[in-house]
């Protein structure tokens, strides 16, 4: 029988009633003839509660025990989902990560999946089970310890299972009914996309869109797993949601597919750094070692032999970045006059595979922002993306202005 993977996020399994609603959707697919692998998250709010308990018990916790605690939320949901399906007379069994086993690295709290042997679950399907309910977000290390994949890891679990079992499709059920051209809470003109290319979805996910976890899209693109994002609160149909697929499967699309934003960005500038070979490595090496996620980078020429280096990072990493730079200065690796941090910035990005073959996207973007009196602090580009850093107070205005400028409310 063909295999289908269905993933239900925390809001989709937040209560017993919602678990029953999700189970009915699984039952529909079983009736169509699929063997179904269901990946479940913890019930909404449960992981935060468990993390809070860990921090309260041991602020400098052992990461192995952290994983043992926070992975338990998914175990509860998996058991309840399996019981619900059994009550519906659908042959189902729950699986924890170590039982499959989902083999991961030993990096506790941020493990990566290395392999998912299919034999155990396939044997249960052959014996008459129709549904395997797997606890998402977790696996087992080579040492036999429970590991977790990082927040949002259930999406990655689902795509990895779809790849391992060569599933026909991977359906991600969440509290939104698909991928939109921008956040509908900011623009009432936001339009749901029927299809979006892997590359576009990867950019949108990495730039702040919360619909899918970035690593899950990377996996889907690598293994050509068809992803469908849809709502667990609406009636399902073959046309529901948004399909994330190969670019070749999209007949026609707008030049720009979406506008993404990241609210909590900081612009940091090292003033008067030596302009010499190796200076960039001397700056960004310590930042990397400190776990600072640097995004935009701009180098400006100042006085002769000196330069200013500007980069952006999340606001909650500013203190870490400052400490890393001061330590590098103390060590004599770099010398700078001052480090200026602007913590009131936001990043706005336009994304679209059509940008490869169309000129003028940057000009239209900058003109739209200029008309609204929005000053651009930093610009970066890639083949299918243009991002700018602006004052945070203009973030919503910028999103609306760009959505209107590229007429994203209109289908191609």
d(C-alpha 299, C-alpha 83), whole Å: 59
Question: Which residue's structure tokens are 């994002």?
Answer: 229
Residue bearing the bigger pLDDT, 304 or 344:
344
Do residues 163 and 299 share a domain? no
Mark whether 75 and 169 lie in a shared domain: yes
**Token duo for residue 354:** 């059509």
Q: Could you tell me if 157 and 269 lie in one domain?
A: no
User: Do 170 and 264 share a domain, yes or no?
Assistant: no
Q: Do 50 and 168 fall within a single domain?
A: yes
For the whole model, what pTM was predicted?
0.82
Is 89 a residue whose pLDDT tops 90? Answer: yes
95 lies in which domain range?
Answer: 3-175
Percent of the chain with pLDDT over 90: 70
pLDDT score, position 411:
80
Residues 17 and 160 in one domain: yes
**What's the pLDDT tens digit per position in 219-260?**
999 999 999 999 888 776 667 889 998 888 887 678 899 999
What pLDDT was estimated at residue 225? 94
Are residues 267 and 167 part of one domain? no
Residue 139: pLDDT above 90? yes
Q: Which of 141, 175, 209 is the last residue of a domain?
A: 175
- Of 153, 175, 197, which one is at a domain's C-terminal end? 175
In a domain, 411, yes or no: no
- Asked whether residue 222 is assigned to any structural domain, the reply reads no
- What was the pLDDT predicted at 204? 85
Domain boundary among 154, 175, 196: 175
Closest CA to 78 of 34, 40, 113, 110: 40
CATH of the domain at 67: 3.40.1160.10
Number of H helices, E strands in the chain: 12, 18
Is 70 exceeded by the pLDDT of residue 316?
yes
Domains in the chain, number: 2
121 and 263 inside one domain: no
Specify the pLDDT at position 157: 96
The predicted structure's pLDDT at residue 33: 95
Judge if 7 and 148 occupy the same domain: yes
Q: Percentage helix, strand, coil, to 5, in the chain?
A: 40, 25, 35
CATH number at 276 reads 3.30.2130.10
User: Residue 302: its pLDDT value, please?
Assistant: 64
């Amino acid at each position: 029988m063909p295999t289908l993977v269905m993933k239900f996020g925390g809001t989709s399994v937040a209560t017993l009633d919602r678990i029953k609603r999700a189970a009915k959707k699984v039952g529909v697919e079983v009736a169509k003839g699929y063997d179904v692998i269901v990946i479940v998250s913890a019930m909404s709010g449960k992981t935060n509660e468990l993390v809070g308990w860990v921090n309260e018990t041991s602020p400098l916790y052992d990461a192995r025990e952290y994983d043992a605690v926070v992975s338990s939320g998914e175990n509860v949901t998996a058991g309840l989902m399996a019981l619900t399906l059994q009550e519906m007379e659908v042959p189902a069994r729950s699986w924890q990560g170590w039982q499959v086993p989902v083999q991961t690295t030993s990096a506790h709290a941020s493990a990566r999946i290395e392999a998912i042997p299919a034999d155990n679950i396939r044997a249960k399907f052959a014996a008459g089970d129709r549904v395997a309910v797997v606890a998402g977000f977790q696996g087992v290390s080579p040492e036999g310890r429970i590991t977790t994949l990082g927040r949002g890891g259930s999406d990655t679990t689902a795509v990895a299972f779809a790849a391992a079992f060569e599933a026909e499709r991977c359906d991600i059920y969440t509290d939104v009914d698909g991928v939109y051209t921008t956040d509908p809470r900011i623009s009432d003109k936001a339009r749901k996309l029927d299809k979006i290319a892997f590359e576009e979805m990867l950019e949108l996910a990495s730039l702040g869109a919360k619909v899918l976890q970035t690593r899950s899209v990377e996996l889907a693109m690598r293994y050509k797993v068809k992803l469908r994002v849809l709502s667990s609160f609406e009636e399902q149909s073959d046309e529901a949601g948004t399909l994330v697929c190969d670019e070749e499967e999209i007949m026609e699309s707008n030049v720009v597919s979406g506008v993404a934003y990241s609210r909590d960005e900081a612009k940091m500038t090292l003033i008067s750094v030596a302009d010499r070979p190796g200076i960039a490595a001397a700056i960004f090496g310590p930042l990397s070692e400190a776990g600072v996620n640097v995004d935009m980078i701009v180098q400006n020429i100042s006085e002769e032999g000196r330069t200013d280096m500007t980069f952006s990072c999340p606001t909650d990493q500013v203190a870490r970045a400052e400490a890393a730079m001061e330590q590098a200065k103390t060590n004599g690796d770099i010398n700078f006059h001052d480090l200026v941090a602007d913590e009131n910035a936001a990043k706005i990005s336009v994304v679209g595979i059509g940008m490869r073959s169309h000129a003028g996207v940057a000009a239209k973007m900058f003109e739209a922002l200029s008309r609204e009196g929005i000053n651009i602090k930093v610009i970066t580009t890639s083949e299918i993306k243009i991002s700018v850093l602006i004052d945070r107070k203009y973030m919503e205005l910028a999103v609306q202005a760009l959505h209107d400028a590229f007429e994203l409310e209109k289908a191609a």
